[in-house]
């Protein structure tokens, strides 16, 4: 399994350097497209039923990043540009490559969004595919790094969503207060 993924990673990265315009686009996608998640959180905040999903997305991303850090500390995998001795599209630290922090966060946010707005969850997953491809293209990750990162994140977002179930009376009270204060849109159940 590792050999086909390594071959796929090399094939994707081998596309770099052929078009400076595409290289710039991929560099942007690899580094800055992740900020689209701010729109995801805004949509969730504006939805009457979006608070739990927003908490699952945000807390899931935080948990996934902690797990990624632990994995990177325990099982260091060199970044492709270090292991294969080439220059990536942009300057990047030579910290652990596996799993991808960007994709951990995007996986959790996609999972959290999925529980409130299916289309938003799918759109976030599509952004994750673009970011993952761009990070492999740029030479800062392998396909296994981004795939594992997304799966870890999605699992964490889902776990937080279900883990919130016993805390829903508290979340609902906080949400009702936010709605009364005019900070969140009122749902039909809050008078």
Per-residue pLDDT tens over the stretch 6-56: 788 888 888 888 999 999 999 999 999 999 999 999 999 998 888 999 999
Closest to 99 measured CA to CA, from 56, 156, 53: 156
What is the rounded distance in angstroms from the CA atom of residue 153 to the CA atom of residue 62?
9
Per residue in 69-103, pLDDT (tens digit) is: 999 999 999 898 888 888 888 888 888 889 999 99
What is the rounded distance in angstroms from the CA atom of residue 20 to the CA atom of residue 37?
27
Phi, psi of 76 (to 5 degrees): -70, 125
Phi, psi of 86 (to 5 degrees): -140, 170
Break the chain into its structural domains and give their ranges: 20-180
Query: For the whole model, what pTM was predicted?
Result: 0.90
Letter string b/e over residues 48-77, b meaning 16 or more CB atoms within 10 A of that residue's CB: eebbbbbbbbbbbbebbbebbeebbeeeeb
Per residue in 94-107, pLDDT (tens digit) is: 888 899 999 999 99
């Amino acid at each position: 399994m590792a050999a086909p993924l390594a071959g796929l990673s090399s094939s994707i990265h081998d596309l770099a350097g052929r078009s400076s315009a595409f290289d710039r686009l991929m560099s942007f996608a690899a580094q800055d497209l992740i900020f689209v998640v701010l729109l995801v959180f805004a949509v969730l905040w504006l939805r009457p039923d979006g608070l739990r999903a927003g908490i699952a997305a945000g807390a899931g991303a935080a948990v996934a990043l902690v797990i990624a850090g632990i994995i990177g500390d325990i099982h260091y995998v060199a970044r492709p540009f270090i292991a294969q001795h080439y220059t990536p599209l942009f300057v990047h630290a030579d910290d652990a490559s596996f799993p991808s922090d960007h994709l951990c966060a995007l996986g959790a946010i996609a999972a959290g969004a999925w529980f409130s707005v299916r289309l938003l969850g799918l759109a976030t997953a599509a952004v994750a595919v673009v970011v993952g491809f761009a990070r492999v293209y740029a030479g800062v990750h392998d396909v296994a790094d981004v795939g594992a990162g997304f799966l870890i994140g999605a699992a964490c977002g889902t776990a937080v969503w279900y883990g919130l179930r016993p805390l829903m009376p508290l979340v609902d009270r906080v949400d009702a207060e936010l709605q009364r204060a005019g900070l969140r849109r009122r749902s039909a159940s809050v008078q």
